[in-house]
Amino acid sequence: DFNLADFDYLPVSSEIKELFEYIKRYTPKTIEIEHKLQPFIPDFIPAVGDIDAFLKVPRPDGKPDNLGLLVLDEPSTKQSDPTVLSLWLTENSKQHNVTQQIKVKSLENAEENSKAIESWIESISELHRCKPPATVHYTRPMPDIETLMQEWSPEFEELLGKVGLPTAEMSCDLAEYIDMICAILDIPVYKSRIQPLHVLFSLYSEFKNSQHFKPLADGKKGRSPPSNPPSQAADAEVLSF
């Protein structure tokens, strides 16, 4: 299909035009390459742990995740330390007052196993680095938690008994609902609602973990009433909160 006349218009020298003649002179040779089929067997790589039984926890949205079919589902070669993981869960859940037995890990011939000691120190250091600060500094003045936990006036208690606290079923957006709850609890709301919400949740946590209000909040479930029942004012505080 190659024709030299198709390239006569090119402004090239005679030497270059002679090179085009070699295109017609060349005849490609057909070379048959010997081959043989050989099955490819990859090296055996043992799985980590037991054989996958395909017992998976389904996704909450109902979509298939194809674990073990399209994506390899095997545990990591670097397993977590159960003690460190328990400390992480305790720190993230803020349940420091929960009494539980934690198995203390020990090392035999610790002087010969420096990697395990360094890994433990690194894990605990990472836990302390990710801890939230013990105190939060507010940009605007906020009332003290102890002040917010003081007893309300009898008139306000009587009014709450008749009207009740606003519920989430009210026809308002989230910002207006936050403003109403903070106004009832005497928490000032400024331009940003993040810090008032922090005070609100701190107040709720203080009530929940209080040694005085916790038995009242649990609601006498299956227990005999105490010999010295709390005052009605304390009951009203828990119910109104």
* Domain regions of the chain by residue span: 80-98+116-131, 145-218
144-151: long-range contacts (C-beta < 8 A, 24 or more apart)? 145/199, 145/202, 145/203, 145/206, 148/185, 148/186, 148/187, 148/199, 148/203, 149/203, 149/206, 149/207, 149/210, 149/237, 151/233, 151/234, 151/237
State the DSSP code for 135. Answer: S
Q: What tens digit of pLDDT does each residue of 65-97 get?
A: 887 778 777 766 677 778 888 888 877 776 665
Q: What tens digit of pLDDT does each residue of 5-31 get?
A: 777 788 888 888 888 888 777 787 888
Helix, strand, coil percent content, the chain, rounded in steps of 5:
40, 0, 55
pLDDT at 1 exceeding the cut of 70: no
Secondary structure of residue 111 in the 3-state scheme: helix
With 0.75 as the threshold, say if the pTM is over it: no
CA distances from 72 to 45, 54, 65 (A): 13, 11, 11
Q: What tens digit of pLDDT does each residue of 142-162 get?
A: 888 888 888 888 888 888 888
